Structure 1
Amino acid sequence: MTESYDIVFAVNYYAPYVSGLTEVVRIVAEESARAGRSVLVVAGQHDASLPRREVLGGVDVIRTPVVARIGKGLISPSFVSTAIRYGRRAGLVNLHMPMLEAGPIAVGVGRTPVVSTYQCDIALPPGLFNRIQMTAMDASSRLAFRASEVIVPSSLDYATHSRLAAAMPSHKLVAIAPPTHTFAHVAETFRETAGLHVGFLGRLVEEKGLESLVEGFRQLDDPEARLLIAGDYLKVAGGSVVERVRRQMGDDTRIRLLGFLPDGQLPHFYSSLDVFALPSVNSFEAFGIVQVEAMKAGVPSLASDLPGVRTPVEATGFGRIVPRNQPDAIAAALRDLQQNPPDRVAGAAATNADYSLEQTVALYLSMFDSVSRQAQP
């Protein structure tokens, strides 16, 4: 590891932890390294068994010790100072938010240009302590925005509807969709019958709206229909809702809880589906990487009518948009997609045109180079 980097990324959780936010950081960091930039990721050591320093995918990684946790939040006393130390000598610093430490880091790196990738508003359950957390997080985000050269939301739709929209001046906004992979059609190893196969992939957490999806699916009469729910529910920051999902499943034997799927299984999972469902219920979901990857594989999406989440379906017409938390609407949309399936080839082509990995990486690298050059004499 060196003392000076072209790009320093700061994020609370990093690989091997898997979430939409961490995957954005990982892919952009690795692609930046592949393009010849020297890259460092500073993150919390969310798992004590992980090394404090290592190289992953061509990226230097420093993990700072975690002394406590508050919900999904990590308390790592040396995180801010470590990010500032390396950030002051970097070509630029890319913060991935929401992150409580974003404001202090953005100010602390001094003259180093800051890019704030704002992935979503934080949304916590009701309660005084959670309100205090959200207030502190939003204040930190506003401070980071003021110190940033560029603010990167996943879409202008999300930015303009964000709780912090007023803190994001339009001249700083550069909307860049999160990076997504394209998977070829392979053996449909998760397919069990000729009936409608609906899939979900992601962490089994409150904001994903899985109980509404299960309730909506159970309204379908087809005994050959299947609902495949894939994703981690054992190592989830803040805890999973798997037991609530199981209760909602009841005695319906058509529903499968698949657990965590390794990357090598994802092409088979997408290839087995007729519909991908993203029934998110709050603004903590801002895009849905897995939704777009399914669409790129030729699977139409059933997405909640949330800012950012609805954007890929609106842009391509490949799927249906439903009100959030409405199982009846989910059931109706699933029946519609079963009876009137969209053109999968055309849908995949449209999605790949709008959301190619190459386009996302090129936009990030161009923006990074432009911002970094502004700091030079």
Structure 2
Amino acid sequence: MDDRRHHDLCIVLTYYSPYVSGLTNVARDLAEGFAARGKRVCVVASKHDPDLPTYETVNGVQVVRAPVLAKVGKGTIGLNLTRLALREMARSTVVNLHLPLVEGGLLARLSPAPVVSTYHCDVSLPTGDGPLALRLVNAAQHRAIDFSSRVALRRSAAAVVSSEDYARHSRMWPSIRGGMVAIPPPCPPRGAGRPTYRRTDGLHVGFLGRIVEEKGVEHLVDAFLALDDPDARLLIGGDYVDVAGGSVVQRVRRHIGDDPRVEMLGFIPEDDLDDFYASLDVFALPSVNAFEAFGIVQVVAMMAGVPALVSDLPGVRTVVENTGFGAVVTPRDVPGLTAALARLRDEPEDPAAGAAAASSLYSVDAVLDAYDAVFTKATGR
């Protein structure tokens, strides 16, 4: 690493690629997008996998990873992230913090460069069941992260959110509204794939995401099983092994039972995603709480010509509302999900029109342009 290097942009977050989540993907696409435009970009994150290098350059982005002492819930413990982030921030023209980030408040207070915070979603940690010690730890972590987010947002030149709809329903709204700028996440389009995941000529419904509590996958399973359609298939893709906060894969499997129409695919490699989307008739995002603030995967599915069935949650619903491509259902409403699946099966929507609408609203270039304007204003240039 060159200790004398200056950065046009320093991005700080907890988990970075190759970890996979919506937040991580947004940070990666911003970093690599600006690097492709000739910007000098540095990312500072935790070393969530101890085998990852501390310093490396990935697709033009300098990545600095801080060793982790321990993982607690969805976060990490380690003083190195603060120290390394402040060092790289001091070499930067502007800093982009991706919240929630437990170190965010302190970094925003101490930052020697202007800060723009991207607030992704409110933290959701289980506090109602499980061992008492775990509930107490989760409650303490919840309060600490919220406090840190409030401090960071109030110390930021701008607070970027994925939609005003989500921001107004967030616990952080009082801290967001003064500097709010609504910019959707960058959504890179997929290439043309082959329907290698199709099993029959019947309806194919797909889910892609981490198999965790807030995704509501078991409700999608129950809704799908209620379809009287022996040729229909439900394809569930996503990591359930290395998941921050813990997986609910066993719960999902109990709901599936022995029905052969539902298939757990596990983690789907990047090279196979085009084929996955090309195999679907409907993409489902049955999230159950506000931890899901947008749902990039639904946009990617739409860009591939697949309508989305999503929960009526702030931010998440806006994509279907803006494109008119898919359906919106109340969270946990299994009969409503079943009815929507049946309608999308029996009354197919225009894939070309849906793809065009999604692409025009959520292209990567438009998002990078919007962020660039925010960064420029923050630096006073």
TM-score category, normalised to shorter length: over 0.9
Select between 255-264 and 80-89 the one with higher mean Cα deviation. Answer: 80-89
Per-residue deviation, residues 93-133 of structure 1 (Å, max 9, x unmatched): 100011111000011113x1101000100011123432222
Per-residue deviation, residues 184-207 of structure 1 (Å, max 9, x unmatched): 433111111111100000111111
Q: Residue 120 of structure 2 aligns with which residue?
A: 119
Q: Residue 145 of structure 1 aligns with which residue?
A: 153
Q: Partner letter of residue 23 of structure 2? A: L
Q: Residue 271 of structure 2 aligns with which residue?
A: 264
Q: Which sections of structure 2, spanning at least 5 residues, go unmatched?
A: 128-134
Q: Residue 78 of structure 1 aligns with which residue?
A: 80
- Give the paired residue count: 372
Matched residue of 2:182: which SS?
A: coil
Q: Which sections of structure 1, spanning at least 5 residues, go unmatched?
A: none
Q: Residue 132 of structure 1 aligns with which residue?
A: 140
Q: Residue 131 of structure 2 aligns with which residue?
A: none
Matched residue of 2:102: which SS?
A: coil
The structure 2 residue matched to 1:157, chosen from 136, 160, 165, is 165
Looking at structure 1, the residues matched to 334 and 356 of structure 2 have their Cα atoms a distance apart, in angstroms, of: 30
Cα displacement (A) at 1:70? 0.7
Per-residue deviation, residues 311-359 of structure 1 (Å, max 9, x unmatched): 1001111000001012111111101111111111111111111111221
Cα displacement (A) at 1:366? 2.6
1:220 aligns with 2:227: yes
Q: Residue 23 of structure 2 aligns with which residue?
A: 21
Aligned-pair identity (%): 52
Per-residue deviation, residues 219-241 of structure 1 (Å, max 9, x unmatched): 00110000000011111112211
Cα displacement (A) at 1:69? 1.1
RMSD: 1.1
Per-residue deviation, residues 67-107 of structure 1 (Å, max 9, x unmatched): 11111211121111211122123101100011111000011
Q: Residue 256 of structure 2 aligns with which residue?
A: 249
Looking at structure 2, the residues matched to 295 and 45 of structure 1 have their Cα atoms a distance apart, in angstroms, of: 33
The structure 2 residue matched to 1:192, chosen from 183, 196, 199, is 199
Looking at structure 2, the residues matched to 74 and 14 of structure 1 have their Cα atoms a distance apart, in angstroms, of: 13
The answer to whether the Cα contact below 8 Å between 2:21 and 2:210 also exists between their aligned partners in 1 is yes
Q: Partner letter of residue 178 of structure 1? A: P
Q: Residue 108 of structure 1 aligns with which residue?
A: 110
TM-score by length of 2: 0.95
- State how 1:193-212 maps to structure 2 within 5 Å: 193-212=200-219
Select between 43-52 and 237-246 the one with higher mean Cα deviation. Answer: 237-246
Looking at structure 2, the residues matched to 186 and 131 of structure 1 have their Cα atoms a distance apart, in angstroms, of: 44
Looking at structure 1, the residues matched to 347 and 64 of structure 2 have their Cα atoms a distance apart, in angstroms, of: 50
Matched residue of 1:310: which SS?
A: helix
1:273 aligns with 2:274: no
The structure 1 residue matched to 2:46, chosen from 18, 21, 44, is 44
The structure 1 residue matched to 2:338, chosen from 331, 338, 344, is 331
Looking at structure 2, the residues matched to 186 and 237 of structure 1 have their Cα atoms a distance apart, in angstroms, of: 30
Cα displacement (A) at 1:371? 2.0
Q: Partner letter of residue 296 of structure 1? A: M
Select between 183-192 and 66-75 the one with higher mean Cα deviation. Answer: 183-192
The structure 2 residue matched to 1:232, chosen from 220, 239, 244, is 239
Q: Residue 360 of structure 2 aligns with which residue?
A: 353
Per-residue deviation, residues 255-281 of structure 1 (Å, max 9, x unmatched): 011111111111111111010000001
Q: Partner letter of residue 259 of structure 2? A: D
Q: Residue 130 of structure 2 aligns with which residue?
A: none
Cα displacement (A) at 1:370? 2.8
The answer to whether the Cα contact below 8 Å between 1:295 and 1:347 also exists between their aligned partners in 2 is yes
Looking at structure 2, the residues matched to 25 and 350 of structure 1 have their Cα atoms a distance apart, in angstroms, of: 24
Matched residue of 2:305: which SS?
A: coil
Matched residue of 1:238: which SS?
A: coil
Q: Partner letter of residue 153 of structure 2? A: F
Q: Residue 132 of structure 2 aligns with which residue?
A: none
Looking at structure 1, the residues matched to 205 and 324 of structure 2 have their Cα atoms a distance apart, in angstroms, of: 18
Looking at structure 1, the residues matched to 177 and 331 of structure 2 have their Cα atoms a distance apart, in angstroms, of: 29
Looking at structure 2, the residues matched to 360 and 103 of structure 1 have their Cα atoms a distance apart, in angstroms, of: 25
The answer to whether the Cα contact below 8 Å between 1:211 and 1:245 also exists between their aligned partners in 2 is yes
Looking at structure 2, the residues matched to 129 and 41 of structure 1 have their Cα atoms a distance apart, in angstroms, of: 29
